[in-house]
Amino acid sequence: MKIRILLVAFLSLYLFSCSSDDDTSTPTPLGNFQDGLLITNQGPFNEGFGTVSFVSGLTTVQNDIFQTVNNDNLGNIVQSIGFSGNQAYIVANVSNRITVVNRFTFEEQARIDTGLDNPRFFIAIGNKGYVTNWGDGTNPDDDYVSVIDLTTNTITTNIPVAEGPESLVVSGNNIYVAHKGGFGVNNIISVIDASTDQVSTTIEVGDVPNSMQLDGVGNLWVLSGGNPGFIGDETAGSLSIIDLQAEEVFQTYEFDATEHPNALNLENGALYYYLNGGIYENTASFVDFSLPEEPILDGLNFFNMRIISNAIFGVNAGDFASNGSLEIYNLNTLELFDSLELGIIPDQIYIN
């Protein structure tokens, strides 16, 4: 019981005091959904709509918060959330829609529902937002990144890119886009210069890059899952380290042929990822780095995960048809702290 109380106190202090996923100052005014986690729930495939859950104090969850506040829904499928100042941009890819809300009250501010085609992820630089779009997943030549004027919430231009643009990270004035692939596969990182809104270069990594992390010393770590076996051309997962100044990979670590890792995290100088029901940990320094041989925790069923301070937050999608759950583990003791019921197919986890 003492460990449980200490974890609540420590992580609550961490969430309250740290900046949210993209902010450098504490935004005001605040609302009911400050100081906690926002979790997207994709929702049922081809029908219904996705939702967002709010977790506070590590023990309390409020589901369907957008519906509760606005008496409306977010569309189908809720893929991700991006942030700019007090605003949250909730991306629904099947509905081709971005819903703009106040991130702390969740009151709807605007909708962007023209010019998008299977949107995936959003990131902001200054007063511009960037949204990856798959287009038709069977067409490798219609993918693009939309540029949004955040003062008017209108798309100003589209940047053509290679197939399957997914998540994005920002370093300086550059946006790095992982190309996981649409219904095919891909193996590149596109670099977009935000001053020109053009692709300046592409960097080849392993097949199906699924997650990226900046290490704070000028490197981008890219975890690639490899081609899955069901496509008939299975390839191994890999971990690549990109020198952002040179814009090239200087180190690659290969997994076994049938190993397909995902959910890369860098936290407190350590690297974590998820593979075959286990969480693996090693130092995040590229000096004498090697892939860990054994998981620190296994027997899990995570769809995605995030490491925050000394806790593991893993979402379990269950049967992908009924409500999933958030499972919280103490990173020091590796004991299960709590399990909270979420919506259908919980996926992305954000600090708010």
In the prediction, which pLDDT does 28 show?
Answer: 59
User: Band of the pLDDT at 191, cuts 50, 70, 90?
Assistant: very high
pLDDT beyond 80 at 26: no
What average pLDDT does range 209-220 have in this prediction? 95
> What pLDDT, on the 0 to 100 scale, is given for residue 2?
46
Q: With 80 as the cut, is the pLDDT of residue 22 above it?
A: no
Cα torsion angle, 101, 214, 126, 135, sign: negative
Confidence of residue 161 (pLDDT cuts 50, 70, 90): very high
What pLDDT is recorded for position 46? Answer: 77
Q: What percent of the chain has pLDDT over 70?
A: 92
CA of residue 33 relative to chain centroid, distance = 19
pTM: 0.93
Q: Is the pLDDT score of 98 beyond 70?
A: yes
For residues 16 and 289, which has the higher predicted lDDT (pLDDT)?
Answer: 289
Among 22-31, 70-79, 82-91, 203-212, the minimum mean pLDDT is found in 22-31
CA distances from 238 to 16, 228, 253, 323 (A): 35, 13, 6, 32
Residue 64 to residue 342: CA distance in whole angstroms:
9
Higher pLDDT, residue 288 or 68: 68
Q: Residue 5: pLDDT above 60? A: no
Average pLDDT value for residue range 218-231: 92
pLDDT of residue 181: 87
* Three-class DSSP labels, 118-162: CEEEEEEECCEEEEEECCCCCCCCCCEEEEEECCCCEEEEEEECC
pLDDT of res. 7: 56
Nearest 5°: phi and psi at 166? -125, -115
Give the chain's mean pLDDT. 92
Asked if the model's pLDDT at residue 14 lies above 70, the reply is no
Where b means 16+ CB within 10 Å and e means fewer, 87-101 reads: bbbbbbbbbbbbbbb
Per-residue pLDDT at 288? 82
Query: Which pLDDT score is estimated for 16?
Result: 47
Q: Which residue would you say has higher pLDDT here, 280 or 15?
A: 280
Residues 98-110 have a mean pLDDT of 98
Has residue 285 got a pLDDT over 90?
no
Q: How confident is the model over 251-266, as pLDDT tens digits?
A: 999 999 999 999 999 9
Tell me, what's the pLDDT at 12? 56
CA dist 302 and 15 (Å) reads: 22
Interval 90-104 mean pLDDT: 97
Average pLDDT over residues 302-320: 97
Residue 214 in this model has a pLDDT that exceeds 90:
yes
Q: Span 263-292, mean pLDDT?
A: 93
Q: How confident is the model at residue 3 (pLDDT cuts 50, 70, 90)?
A: very low
**What's the token pair of residue 178?**
């992982």
